[in-house]
């Protein structure tokens, strides 16, 4: 299955959190799947990991290098539809567009806004 990794999950994966065992178990279960994210998630994960948790940029970049999908004009056009259809935050509509345009079947997130869209949600915690 193709799965999109949202920023919240990747930040947890990148740092030492109280729920580390649950996060590690979830990640291990996902490794047999095709994992993806987009450059907006990259921006958020790098920024939060460094600013809030002190994780060096290079460590976060290594974590994400192999799973990044581009955002193109097609994603913008789909996001424009999604923002009106689902009333999501702009960044979430772009994530949803990347998901839809790349045939991704699920998202790993803790963002409850994704309950309003027709995508399988794998909850982080």
Q: What is the pLDDT of residue 15?
A: 84
Q: Which domain range does residue 59 map to? A: 2-123
pLDDT of the residue at 64: 87
CA 20 vs CA 11, 101, 124: distances in Å: 11, 32, 11
Q: Is pTM, for the whole model, over 0.85?
A: yes
Q: Tell me how crowded residue 26 is: count the other CB atoms within 10 A of its CB.
A: 18
DSSP state of 116: G
In the prediction, which pLDDT does 13 show? 87
Contact 100, 118 (CB under 8 A): no
Q: What's the mean pLDDT when you consider all of the chain?
A: 92
Walk along the chain (125 residues) in steps of 10 and give the mean pLDDT of each run.
95 79 88 94 92 91 88 96 95 97 97 95 91
At 46 the pLDDT is 93
Q: What is the pLDDT of residue 125?
A: 75
CATH of the domain at 109: 3.40.50.1010
Domain tally, the chain? 1
Residue 54 CA to residue 72 CA, distance in Å, equals: 31
Q: What is the pLDDT of residue 4?
A: 98
> Strands 68-69 and 120-123: what pairing?
unpaired
What is residue 89's predicted lDDT score, i.e. its pLDDT? Answer: 95
pLDDT recorded at residue 79: 97
């Amino acid at each position: 299955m193709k799965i999109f990794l949202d920023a919240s999950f990747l930040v947890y994966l990148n740092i030492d959190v109280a729920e580390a065992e649950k996060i590690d178990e979830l990640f291990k279960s996902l490794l047999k799947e095709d994992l993806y994210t987009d450059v907006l998630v990259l921006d958020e994960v790098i920024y939060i990991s460094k600013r809030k948790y002190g994780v060096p940029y290079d460590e976060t970049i290594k974590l994400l290098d192999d799973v990044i999908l581009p955002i193109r004009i097609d994603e913008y056009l789909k996001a424009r539809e999604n923002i009106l259809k689902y009333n999501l935050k702009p960044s979430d509509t772009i994530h949803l567009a990347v998901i839809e345009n790349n045939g991704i079947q699920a998202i790993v997130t803790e963002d409850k806004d994704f309950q309003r869209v027709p995508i399988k949600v794998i909850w982080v915690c």
